[in-house]
Structure 1
Amino acid sequence: MRINKVALAVTALLAASQVHAAGFQVSEHSASGLGRAFAGEAAIGDNAASLARNPALMATFDKAQLSVVGSYVDPDISIKGVTGVPTYGISASDLDANDVAPAQVVPAMYYIQPLNKTVAVGLAIYSNYGTGTEYKDDYAGGSAAGTTHIMSVNFNPNVSYRINEQLSLGAGVSFVYATAELERNAGIGAPAMQIAKMEGDGYGFGWNVGALYEINKNNRFGISYKSEVKTELEGDFTGSTTTTPGATVDGTLDLNLPSILEVSGYHKLTDKFAVSYSWQYTTWSDFGDIVAESASCDSTAIGGIPGVCLEKKEDYSNSSRYSVGGEYYLSEAVTLRAGYAFDEQGGKATMSIPDTDRQWYTAGLTYKATPALSFDFAAALVAGKEITFEESLPAAGGASATLTSSGDAYIYSAQMNYSF
């Protein structure tokens, strides 16, 4: 099946393509949330963007609201070789690469419509997962790390029901559209020669639930869960492992997007100051390896099996994210925010997805222009921990090189909220 180019373009606009959270998770759901490092997101509900974290928060709205968000992610990630593969003429410095992850704009949109005092409905369009790294065509390690893009967009209708003044419940379904692009080059002898390329798109379905418990107007707790989403991508594969070398054949690639559990709290301690916190748990062990398959492929010559075009081993473990934030209500029109988060590494670092522990330092504000219109602005420094890892280079007979990954990311976000 030929990849749908129009669908790919839509996804590129609606999904992230940079590793700036654990594994390849996308957290940039709102500017208001970014300002407090996404602490308390399942409990606060200060605008329609809260729909991305907990559908039960819709029960706190007495008017319809639209939120539109745009975030700009500017990473600076570098790879340095520690040891090369001398037998194949690859030195450590040949494996150096700078700025391997491109900057990206991440949009999102949310709408909440209360139907009466107990029921509300809403639609969220955003991304939970996306990653991208790009190495030059003549990169010495190109057989392990050429171009890697995994992108997704979640179309998520929801409904909430207020049981009583304290307890509200919410639930939704997700239609997740995903695309993947994997490209590898020889990197040795014929550095610009492409040895594998897979492009595909597909979709999957999931669900989400949430609950909100309000002790009073100043203290509340929230919990939400998003299910795993299994998608099968269909597309084109071109490479040396096809039964007719170099031919373009139909192929499939299974992509399992992990489930997410989030628990949050919010407490307004004084008329001017509030604190919030969250724990988020992602089941990265559900992800598995990246395997492109086709009846017209046979990778036994490079250690694979018949029917496998391309295989990228991944080693992921479940991980947690901890965040705390504060808000200062400067005036009726202005709210100031700051936050900190620790984001655990979700997967063993590789050149294509150089994952590591991250610390988030964030700040932001809300400006209420009119009773119906408000704007949120935020900025964040995501500081990645330097990590050393080994990578197998298929074009070098599977020999391993040792590399170090380091880098930070800067995120800038703006949001408009309008109540009807």
Structure 2
Amino acid sequence: MLKINKRTKLAVMITAITMTSSTAVVQAAGFQLKEQSAEGQGNSFAGQTAKAVDASTIFFNPAGMTRIKGNHVQSNLSFIRPSADYSHKSNSSAGGGAILNRTTGVDGGSSALVPAAYALWDYSDDIKLGISINAPFGLSTEYDEDWIGAQYNVFSEIKTINFAPSIAYRVNDQLSIGGNIQFQKIEGKLSNINFVPGAVLSTLTADDTGLGYSFGFLYEYSDTGRVGFNYRSKIKHTLKGDLSTPDSASENLNFDAHADLTLPAVVSVGLYQEVSDKWTLLADIAWTDWSELDELNVIRDSDGSTRSTTVYNWDDTIFAAIGANYQFNEKLQLKFGIAYDEGAANDADRTAGIPDATRYWASIGASYKINDQATLNAGYSHIKAKKAKINENHKLGNLGGGTEFSGEFDSNIDILSIGFDYKF
């Protein structure tokens, strides 16, 4: 009989997780992405910090790994379909008004596929090791080049990928602790119309790598209930790249550049409570330090001058979710959840690149245990955002013959997530 030692098992799991996440972060919608687990999607991610029911706990609270028996690999894929319909209110134009004049049929939403993958090694009863690959932040908005706000934004994209080796330790029968190191790659791309005179498309492309960490604890106060806490650190980046304008030879529109960006810390607390053989109640609350995003300055490398400034003035946010699971039979579990997702942007400084606003979630889902080794998860969420006012004027500095405008965005998001967990 072929014997597989622990080191070989770990190598197999690393290979599997790499294969399942080979398309990691092709594109992302929304700046903070909660879509890291199909199992949690159906609950609007209520209780995710305390659940610890599968390998995705590596992302939400690594301490929860101590509850997982056996070695696991898991792959998740979420299809995100957003819409951001723009309604025009008013505008005042200089030289660019005749060019950037479309105000109807404007929708900046851009669909995306967001994967997440995990591998968990059951090293011993008290020690668990894990690896996760996630896209915790991302955005993608795209507009036509003739829309009224094209001088501010035609295309915006931020892509991140996190690779996190993790460890968890069971201190005693009730308390577990865990943590990981976050290796993060970020890429950004921003396009807008400039006037030189005449309208030309300029694109800023830049990337960076950064380092962060996460730690948490899980406290099991009874056989049927537990609470969890997790802290995920901020990660500082200096994105380096260049501004390129193919249709212009101007040195002011073609140069190497850099920009500082800090992705925020996140603190979450979760509750898991079985109330009967059939029903489990779930709750989660999370705070995100979005006040880190004050403004984005693009600096020309050659002379250190600031070439553009985009003001955000974002506020810290709260995400709160409640949900329930219903055990229909031994194989099938049904999931429900709602959530309040506070927006970070304010009406005075909101941008078309990130038309952020407070959102409300409603979700359903299911987990189906195929056999003792394999589980299939699926979840669907509909998210409705409050109408988001926008007033683009001075935030890019000198307009240089462009357009000031005001209006509002009406946004909706539909998310379908599918995941597969395999134990061996």
TM-score, normalisation: structure 2: 0.88
3-state secondary structure, aligned to 2:102:
helix
Partner of 1:128: 136
Partner of 1:7: none
Partner of 2:371: 370
Distance in 1 between residues matched to 2:197 and 2:241, nearest whole Å: 29
Partner of 1:211: 217
Distance in 2 between residues matched to 1:117 and 1:257, nearest whole Å: 35
Residues 160 and 15 of structure 1: CA distance in aligned 2, closer, same or farther (over 3 Å): farther
3-state secondary structure, aligned to 1:37:
coil
Partner of 2:279: 273
Amino acid at match of 1:388: K
Distance in 1 between residues matched to 2:159 and 2:126, nearest whole Å: 36
Residues 12 and 415 of structure 1: CA distance in aligned 2, closer, same or farther (over 3 Å): closer
Residues 417 and 226 of structure 1: CA distance in aligned 2, closer, same or farther (over 3 Å): same
Amino acid at match of 1:184: N
3-state secondary structure, aligned to 1:59:
helix
Structure 2 regions of 5+ residues with no counterpart? 1-20
* Match among 22, 29, 35 for residue 18 of structure 1: 29
**1:307 Cα offset (Å):** 1.5
Amino acid at match of 2:313: D
Distance in 1 between residues matched to 2:361 and 2:95, nearest whole Å: 40
**1:182 Cα offset (Å):** 0.9
* Match among 398, 414, 418 for residue 414 of structure 1: 418
Partner of 1:350: 351
- Root-mean-square deviation (CA, aligned residues, Å) is 2.3
Matches within 5 A, 1:20-419: 24-86=31-93, 90=97, 94-186=102-194, 190-191=198-199, 193-194=200-201, 196-238=202-244, 245=251, 248-296=254-302, 307-348=305-346, 349-392=350-393, 395=399, 400-419=404-423
Residues 237, 309 of structure 1: 8 Å contact kept: no
**1:11 Cα offset (Å):** 9.6
Distance in 2 between residues matched to 1:347 and 1:12, nearest whole Å: 30
**1:122 Cα offset (Å):** 0.3
Distance in 2 between residues matched to 1:309 and 1:97, nearest whole Å: 31
**1:287 Cα offset (Å):** 2.2
Distance in 2 between residues matched to 1:285 and 1:243, nearest whole Å: 37
Amino acid at match of 1:205: L
Structure 1 regions of 5+ residues with no counterpart? 1-9, 298-305
Residues 185 and 87 of structure 1: CA distance in aligned 2, closer, same or farther (over 3 Å): closer
**1:313 Cα offset (Å):** 1.4
3-state secondary structure, aligned to 2:251:
coil
**1:381 Cα offset (Å):** 0.3
Distance in 2 between residues matched to 1:250 and 1:188, nearest whole Å: 19
Distance in 2 between residues matched to 1:15 and 1:230, nearest whole Å: 22
Residues 105 and 90 of structure 1: CA distance in aligned 2, closer, same or farther (over 3 Å): same
Distance in 1 between residues matched to 2:367 and 2:22, nearest whole Å: 29
**1:286 Cα offset (Å):** 1.1
Deviation string for 1:43-69 (max 9, x for gaps)? 001110121100000111121111100
Deviation string for 1:309-364 (max 9, x for gaps)? 33221121100000001000001100000100000001232111000010010000
Residues 380, 416 of structure 2: 8 Å contact kept: yes
Distance in 2 between residues matched to 1:396 and 1:78, nearest whole Å: 27
3-state secondary structure, aligned to 1:296:
coil
Distance in 1 between residues matched to 2:249 and 2:265, nearest whole Å: 37
Amino acid at match of 1:25: Q
3-state secondary structure, aligned to 1:212:
strand
Distance in 1 between residues matched to 2:209 and 2:216, nearest whole Å: 24
Residues 42, 335 of structure 2: 8 Å contact kept: yes
**Which deviates more from structure 2 when the two are superposed, residues 287-296 or residues 119-128?**
287-296
Amino acid at match of 1:264: G
Residues 101 and 330 of structure 1: CA distance in aligned 2, closer, same or farther (over 3 Å): same
Report percent identity of matched pairs.
25
Residues 30, 413 of structure 1: 8 Å contact kept: yes
**1:397 Cα offset (Å):** 5.4
Distance in 2 between residues matched to 1:375 and 1:213, nearest whole Å: 27
Residues 180, 214 of structure 2: 8 Å contact kept: yes
Residues 352, 390 of structure 2: 8 Å contact kept: no
3-state secondary structure, aligned to 2:256:
strand
Amino acid at match of 1:18: A
**1:235 Cα offset (Å):** 1.1
3-state secondary structure, aligned to 2:367:
strand
**1:288 Cα offset (Å):** 2.7
Residues 371 and 144 of structure 1: CA distance in aligned 2, closer, same or farther (over 3 Å): same
Residues 39, 277 of structure 1: 8 Å contact kept: yes
Distance in 1 between residues matched to 2:108 and 2:235, nearest whole Å: 28
Distance in 2 between residues matched to 1:409 and 1:371, nearest whole Å: 35
Residues 235 and 86 of structure 1: CA distance in aligned 2, closer, same or farther (over 3 Å): closer
Residues 224, 262 of structure 1: 8 Å contact kept: yes
Deviation string for 1:279-322 (max 9, x for gaps)? 0000001123222212336xxxxxxxx61233221121100000
Residues 84, 402 of structure 1: 8 Å contact kept: yes
3-state secondary structure, aligned to 2:159:
strand
Deviation string for 1:197-218 (max 9, x for gaps)? 2101111000110000001221
3-state secondary structure, aligned to 1:52:
helix
TM-score, normalisation: structure 1: 0.89
Residues 392, 398 of structure 1: 8 Å contact kept: no
3-state secondary structure, aligned to 1:216:
coil
Residues 51, 272 of structure 2: 8 Å contact kept: yes
**1:153 Cα offset (Å):** 0.9
Residues 151, 178 of structure 1: 8 Å contact kept: yes
